[in-house]
Amino acid sequence: MKAVVLPRIAPIEDKPLREVEMPAPQPGTGEILVKVSVCGLCHTDLDEIEGRLEPPALPVVLGHQVVGSVAERGAGATRYEVGDRVGVTWLFSSCGACAFCRTGRENLCEQARWTGKDAPGGYAEFMVVGEDFAQAIPVAFSDSQAAPLLCAGVIGYRAVRLGEISDGQTIGLFGFGASAHIVIQIVRHQFPHSDVFVFTRSGHHRELARRLGAAWTGGPGDTPPARVDKAIDFTPVGEAVRDALVALHRGGRLVINAIRKTTPIPELAYHEYLWDEKEIKSVANVTRRDAAEFLPLAAQIGIRPTVEQFGPRQANEALVLMKRGKLKAAGVLVFA
């Protein structure tokens, strides 16, 4: 099969990803073989490539927003039929026995494995996954539309949950890439009396935010018309944490939806940025529950991610565009 592998840690500008031929994997007990149609591109892929989230072994097949069809079932796998369309998220597996798993927090399991990091991911024509960790894809979505929902959408949904938003509160979104442009649609549906303010450098992203219902848009550090009650930071830069805390109202909560920051969070004077009972909550990975709840909701809302398609040989170039903030929205690699 054809696969795009990462053989070494390097800046994405050095084009370290390589397209290679390798044997197709075989499904084991309880696993399914997925014929990959598309795989979404994610900032976490950049973190792995550039060493901020180093894979345990190289080379590795990246990719954790995987959409395809069941090509073969391993022994004991009965949940899906051959030909069924499925998706794979960042969560590849968890132990199922620890205190976190038993209380619905498998995203914090110390034995969890992550797709495209600890196990081969979807930058390939085929991959295997345990059938219990694959998600059914609603018929409302094309393969390319479904791919960004499996990470950008699912983790965005989790960020909204952790924000504990109430209808009528003002919501600030910092950064407006693949995840945020889905989150604004969730917020506008679930909290119709809430205003959404969007902070982003990109003029194109500000225009998209207004089309999706933002009440105000501006750049990092701009002063919005009112303080926000809840804020979600989607950016890879540390300065956004400070900017969000400045915009946050007393008693507000900031949710940081980033697996790594490429620049440090600036020093924060307690009395200036954190007093008045402001809270900071991080988002760590996703659970199967997040995906199982979000995908039908996305179909119900009518979310349609804006997608740019690339061939596997364009993976390096596409990720450079992502790093520079020049993708129009969500990027996907098309394998079929």
Q: Looking at residue 46, what is its pLDDT?
A: 94
pLDDT computed for residue 260 by the predictor: 80
Kindly report, residue by residue over 7-27, the tens digit of the pLDDT: 999 999 999 999 999 999 999
- Mean pLDDT across 27-54: 95
pLDDT interval class at 258 (50, 70, 90) = confident
What pLDDT band is residue 73 in, cutting at 50, 70 and 90? very high
Mean pLDDT throughout 252-256? 98
As a CATH number, domain 2-152+285-334 is: 3.90.180.10
CB 88 within 8 A of CB 133: yes
- Domain at 157-282, CATH from 3.40.1080.20, 2.70.70.10, 3.30.420.40, 3.40.50.720: 3.40.50.720
- Does residue 328 register a pLDDT over 80? no
pLDDT at residue 23 in the model: 96
Q: Is 329 a residue whose pLDDT tops 80?
A: no
pLDDT in tens, 176-229: 988 898 999 999 999 999 999 999 998 988 999 999 999 999 999 899 999 999
Mean pLDDT of 252-278: 92
pLDDT in tens, 111-165: 999 999 999 999 999 999 999 999 999 999 999 999 999 998 999 999 999 999 9
In the chain, where are the structural domains located?
A: 2-152+285-334, 157-282
Q: Summarize pLDDT for 271-315 with one digit per residue, the tens.
A: 999 999 999 999 999 999 999 999 999 999 998 888 899 999 999
